């Protein structure tokens, strides 16, 4: 029997934490239904307008942004942007005729999901964090299903709509076995040295970058490799600093496309505690030091991190203490094989490797 020609719209973005789960959902749809048509809807000028086409999908941009906390020209134009984006969303839906729509959070998902629910298109939202984003909170009463990654999300969403699926991540991160030598070759690192991986999220993290920049000499002297993902803003300074060290030992990148190989190369990971990063670390089963960002709603990165720390599945260093304690903690963990093994064992138990498949199955149930 031929595969049904499903049509889906996936909307949202703004940061990697929204974009990569969206792409993982799209990839899972294509794996299960290769002939499915998928259209992304994002916000003009945001990261998704580049990353989604790189992943092989078409995207249309809406003229939409968030409200700033201070009076700005953007705030004055916000009502106009909302009206314009909702009108465009109605047109996109009428033209594309989706069987169902998915929202992953971020500015664009608001107008798109609002229009879709008004048109009675089956709809689902996916919330990555332990603290729900404002767009998803506003949409929760309108959509048919809410897929979440943490318990206790009934604080934000109608309990009857919630399904605990975990966060969808790229399938290649679940398949790291046997990739170590390929990874060391790709990054051009000496294979005999243990490797640190520092990841500050898609936008970068000032604290991680400053702490790591200050530790470069010690990293070299102690005989470790470093893969350093800085984010675009911090990359020029980091790149200049890295050039002062052996090319087979310290490598700085603004963005890493082959994250599966970055994880495969790493012996110890230093990371922010965004929901997507946590989900990837659980699947990669890496000994990790988490430095939660203090610049997020209701300090939800600390809550994300504590969910692991309380189960002895990660080490926590507070952002305010990172300059003093981060790299001493990293060196201590790199030398402690027993602690690494404990963290690997415990973090593996928190992984949800079938999250993308579970979300797509919920989506298909809505259509049927």
Given a contact cutoff of 8 angstroms between Cβ atoms, the answer to whether 281 and 269 are in contact is yes
Taking a C-beta distance cutoff of 8 angstroms, is the pair 76, 68 a contact?
A: no
Phi, psi of 205 (to 5 degrees): -145, 115
> CA 285 to CA 250: how far, in whole Å?
23
The answer on whether 256 is annotated among ligand-binding residues is yes
- Asked whether residue 42 is marked as a ligand-binding residue, the answer is no
What number of helices (H) and strands (E) belong to the chain? 14, 13
CB 226 within 8 A of CB 250: yes
229 is in an annotated binding site: no
93 is in an annotated binding site: no
293 marked as binding residue: no
Burial of 29 (0-12, 13-18, 19+ CB in 10 A): buried
Q: Are 111 and 87 in contact (CB under 8 A)?
A: no
Query: Which ranges in 33-179 belong to alpha helices (H)?
Result: 48-54, 73-96, 109-118, 134-139
108: closest CA among 15, 243, 233?
Answer: 15
Q: State the Cα–Cα distance between residues 299 and 294, nearest whole angstrom.
A: 6
Q: How far apart are CA 144 and CA 120, in angstroms?
A: 10
Centre a 10 Å sphere on the Cβ of residue 207 and count the other Cβ atoms it contains. 21
Q: How far apart are CA 229 and CA 252, in angstroms?
A: 6
**Residue 19 marked as a ligand binder:** no
202 is in an annotated binding site: yes
DSSP 69: S
283: nearest Cα among 176, 135, 201, 174: 174
Answer yes or no: is 173 a known binding residue: no
List the binding residues for UDP-N-acetyl-alpha-D-glucosamine: 15-17, 129, 170, 202, 256, 301
List the binding residues: 15-17, 129, 170, 202, 256, 301
């Amino acid at each position: 029997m031929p595969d049904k020609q499903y049509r889906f719209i996936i909307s949202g973005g703004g940061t990697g934490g929204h974009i990569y789960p969206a792409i993982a959902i799209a990839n899972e749809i294509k794996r299960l239904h290769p002939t499915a048509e998928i259209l992304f809807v994002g916000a003009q000028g945001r990261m998704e307008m580049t990353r989604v086409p790189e992943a092989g999908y078409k995207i249309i941009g809406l003229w939409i942004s968030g409200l700033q906390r201070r009076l700005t020209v953007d705030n004055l134009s916000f009502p106009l942007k909302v009206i314009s984006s909702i009108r465009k969303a109605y047109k996109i839906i009428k033209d594309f005729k989706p069987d169902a729509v998915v929202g992953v959070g971020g500015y664009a998902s608001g107008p798109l999901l609002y229009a879709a629910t008004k048109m009675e298109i089956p709809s689902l939202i996916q919330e990555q964090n332990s603290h729900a984003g404002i767009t998803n909170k506003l949409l929760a009463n309108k959509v048919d299903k809410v897929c979440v990654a943490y318990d206790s999300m009934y604080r934000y969403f109608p309990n009857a709509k919630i399904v605990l699926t975990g966060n969808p991540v790229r399938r290649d991160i679940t398949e790291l076995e046997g990739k170590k030598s390929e990874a060391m070759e790709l990054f051009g690192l000496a294979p005999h040295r243990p490797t640190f991986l520092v990841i500050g999220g898609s936008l970068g993290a000032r604290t991680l970058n400053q702490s790591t920049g200050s530790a470069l000499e010690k990293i070299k002297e102690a005989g470790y490799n470093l893969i350093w993902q800085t984010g675009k803003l911090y990359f020029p300074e980091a790149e200049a600093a890295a050039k002062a060290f052996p090319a087979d030992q310290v490598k700085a990148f603004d963005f890493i496309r082959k994250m599966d190989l970055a994880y495969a190369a790493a012996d110890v990971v230093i990371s922010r505690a965004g929901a997507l990063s946590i989900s990837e670390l659980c699947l990669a089963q890496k000994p990790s030091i988490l430095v939660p960002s203090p610049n997020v709603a209701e300090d939800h990165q600390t809550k994300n991190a504590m969910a692991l720390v309380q189960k002895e599945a990660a080490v926590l260093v507070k952002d305010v203490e990172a300059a003093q304690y981060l790299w001493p903690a990293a060196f201590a963990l790199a030398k402690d094989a027993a602690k690494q093994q404990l963290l690997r064992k415990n973090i593996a138990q928190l992984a949800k490797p079938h999250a993308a498949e579970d979300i797509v199955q919920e989506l298909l149930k809505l259509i049927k």
